[in-house]
Amino acid sequence: MKTWNLDALFPSYESQAFNNTIERIQTLIGEANDYVETLQEPGDELDKIKRHIEIAGALRQNLIRAFGFVNLSLSTDAEDEKSNAWMNRMQQLSSKTTPFNTAFAKWLPKVSNLDELIESDPLLKEHAYYLNAIVDRAQYVLSEAEENLIAKLTQTGSSAWSQLQGLLTSVLKVEFDDKEVTLSDIRNKAHAQDPAVRKQAYEAELAAYPKIEQSVASALNSIKGEVNEITEMRGFGSALDEAVYDSRMERKTLDALLVSMRDHLPMFRRYLKRKAQLLGHENGLPWYDLFAPIGKSERSFSIEAAMNYVIKNFKSFGDDLADLAQRAYDEEWIDFTPRSGKRGGAFCFNIHLIKESRILTNFDGSFSNVITLAHELGHAYHGDRIFNESILNASYTMPVAETASTLCETIVKKAALNDSEGDEKLFILEQSLMGTAQVIVDILSRFIFEKNVFEQRKNTPLSAKRLKEMMIEAQKEAYGDGLDPNHLHPYMWVNKGHYYRGSLSFYNFPYAFGLLFAKGIYALYQEKGAPFVKDIDALLQKTGKASVEDVAASIGIDVTDRAFWDKSLAVVKEEIDMFLSLSE
């Protein structure tokens, strides 16, 4: 077992460094409150804006560092009492910054010569996008009293419900082979070579969820209900409208992406039906074989072997990427293996103040987990590029957040495919298609489900029974006859933490955007070669201070045109055609 080292953040909650950071946050909150009073006084507007940038930057740096330590500690030990107590304390501290942010958001649009001030000062010019975004967002900002109340109530509302879902799924015990295993353990068995193990694990997983379904349904209802109310108060047409706005994306970009995805569903269904045939199924692919390996590979990776494999292939793209991955391993940024109390899935957390990241995976030695490792290291690489910007220019939105990670997946998958032949080539190709199908077809089912939940939650709370029905309906709409309708997964809403973030709805379509955007970038990289890496680095660094459309335009891509998405999906079609040919 290899776990991460958090000492670069803080050695412990009792350490002087942690206490100093908390004191620094409290001091900054005091300075922020004093600053709010000055906004109503006559004075130099330029100095007031510069002072805001100074305080806001320092607050964000220190809050991310302290929040990061608490959140990372909780993610590997959901029942830790100190971490849970500190999470509550950090949320309280964070809410105290609301008056500062709200007052500035109300004041800044009143500065009539803002454009001139920005042009006149290097600090303001550096933060032009940040400042203009605040002015634009002001139309959705409520009164200071309302914003402050929302910030306080979400601590015992959506944030608390989110923690409950994380806790319940982290500690859920699943009965398997007369033993109790974690949810992450049982879900990893979906990749097992033995078909009996895959089916047994699926049945065991479904049998475990009733223990927590009512509680998690309450969490989901509470979060989506809260978001609906706040979204309406702010003046957004829907939670989706707010998610698109917060993504710095135009609705026509999302619509172009979704139309292209839907129109290409038949080719994914052909792939799924062929996989079903290869596994001996006549009625489409049952869910328990969705991740079944096809072809043969003798590879089972140790942690060291997986890292060496990823680093070797990263090196073909560039030394900076390979060096970043080596540093992540050497400096113990990664918590690799599943255990009780540790959350499922994988994530990367970038920490601007110390210019480092931390990565969580639930590694079990499979090739799929190697790809997950490459994906999360891609997030760390993105962080490393954007650390060159100020903290206020370092907050990129979800669609572009998946760019570097998916690009890194593509690098490793392509290299693995090129190095293989025969049954192993089929295995690697199918593993790639399996992941792509998840990011296009399953993500579409998640988008459909979440959209329907938001709409129906406006009228009534949704029972666990109804949520299961809605999940099945969404899966049937997306997967069609590619899956066996008698063996779907009605509980996918329980284990996906993305549904349980009150401040971030629809954390699903960004994955599809990231996959297809990365494929387009990779195609350009293949065409232009090593010099294009600098353009990719510049694009990643720009993601915190530009719209999605402007980021894409920086390398000549128009994401509002479905032709781009069609072109990226045509690359997937070539892979599916190759799979169909190799598997005849």
Q: What whole-number distance in Å separates Cα of residue 433 and Cα of residue 285?
A: 14
**Short-list 20, 179, 6, 183, CA closest to 83:** 6
Cα 289 versus chain centre, distance: 25
The whole-number pLDDT of residue 547 equals 95
Residue-by-residue DSSP string for 154-191: HHHTHHHHHHHHHHHHHH-EEEETTEEEEHHHHHHGGG
Which residues 6+ apart lie within 8 Å of 30 measured at CB? none
| 276 has pLDDT over 90 | yes
* Whether 259 contacts 560, CB under 8 Å: no
Q: What whole-number distance in Å separates Cα of residue 364 and Cα of residue 185?
A: 9
| 405 has pLDDT over 70 | yes
* Residue 409, amino acid: E
Q: What is the mean pLDDT of residues 455-479?
A: 98
Q: What is the mean pLDDT of residues 381-400?
A: 94
Q: What is the mean pLDDT of residues 179-201?
A: 94
Q: What whole-number distance in Å separates Cα of residue 217 and Cα of residue 489?
A: 16
* Whether 301 contacts 370, CB under 8 Å: yes
Q: What is the mean pLDDT of residues 266-279?
A: 97
DSSP state of 108: G
Phi-psi region of 489 (alpha: psi -120 to 50; beta: other; left: phi over 0): beta
* Whether 332 contacts 8, CB under 8 Å: no
Q: What whole-number distance in Å separates Cα of residue 278 and Cα of residue 273?
A: 9
**What is the tally of helices (H) and strands (E) in the chain?**
28, 5
| 178 has pLDDT over 70 | yes
Which residues 6+ apart lie within 8 Å of 477 measured at CB? 445, 448
- The yes/no answer on whether domain 16-154 falls in CATH 1.20.140.70 is yes
Which residues 6+ apart lie within 8 Å of 350 measured at CB? 357, 379, 380, 382, 383, 386, 387
Q: What whole-number distance in Å separates Cα of residue 518 and Cα of residue 439?
A: 12
How confident is the prediction for the chain on average, in pLDDT?
A: 94
The whole-number pLDDT of residue 417 equals 85
DSSP state of 285: B
Residue with tokens 């550096």: 126
| 340 has pLDDT over 90 | no
Most confident of 37-51, 144-158, 437-451: 437-451
Q: What whole-number distance in Å separates Cα of residue 290 and Cα of residue 42?
A: 65
| 1 has pLDDT over 70 | no
φ and ψ of 387, to 5 deg: -60, -15
Q: What percentage of residues in the chain have a pLDDT greater than 90?
A: 87
**What are the pLDDT digits (tens) for 520-568?**
998 899 899 999 999 999 999 999 999 999 999 999 999 999 999 999 9
* Residue 167, amino acid: L
**Short-list 579, 575, 569, 578, CA closest to 277:** 579
* Lowest pLDDT segment from 1-5, 150-154, 578-582: 1-5
If residue 357 lies in a helix (H) or strand (E), which one and from where to where?
strand 356-360
Q: What whole-number distance in Å separates Cα of residue 79 and Cα of residue 95?
A: 24
Residue 418 binned pLDDT confidence (cut-offs 50, 70, 90): confident
Q: What is the mean pLDDT of residues 194-205?
A: 97
| 296 has pLDDT over 90 | no
If residue 296 lies in a helix (H) or strand (E), which one and from where to where?
none
Q: Is 334 helix (H, G, I), strand (E, B) or coil?
A: strand
The whole-number pLDDT of residue 212 equals 97
Distances from the Cα of 277 to the Cαs of 274, 434, 576, 581, in angstroms?
Answer: 5, 15, 15, 14
Residue 41 binned pLDDT confidence (cut-offs 50, 70, 90): confident
Residue with tokens 């970043």: 324
Which residues 6+ apart lie within 8 Å of 1 measured at CB? 336, 337, 339
Q: What whole-number distance in Å separates Cα of residue 455 and Cα of residue 501?
A: 17
Ranges of each domain in the chain: 16-154, 162-290+438-500
| 239 has pLDDT over 80 | yes
If residue 249 lies in a helix (H) or strand (E), which one and from where to where?
none
Selected residue with higher pLDDT from 76 and 368 = 76
Q: What is the mean pLDDT of residues 139-146?
A: 92
Give 3-state DSSP helix, strand, coil % of the chain, rounded to 5: 70, 5, 25
Q: Burial-class residue 336 by CB neighbours within 10 Å (0-12, 13-18, 19+).
A: buried
| 124 has pLDDT over 80 | yes
3-state secondary structure 448-517: HHHHHHHHHHCCCCCCHHHHHHHHHHHHHHHHHHHECCCCCCCCHHHHCHHHHCCCCCCCCHHHHHHHHH
Buried b (16+ CB within 10 A) or exposed e, 491-515: bbbbbbebbbbbeebbbbbbbbbbb
The whole-number pLDDT of residue 299 equals 77
The whole-number pLDDT of residue 414 equals 87
Q: What whole-number distance in Å separates Cα of residue 466 and Cα of residue 411?
A: 41
Q: Is 42 helix (H, G, I), strand (E, B) or coil?
A: coil
Q: What whole-number distance in Å separates Cα of residue 111 and Cα of residue 370?
A: 51
* Residue 355, amino acid: K
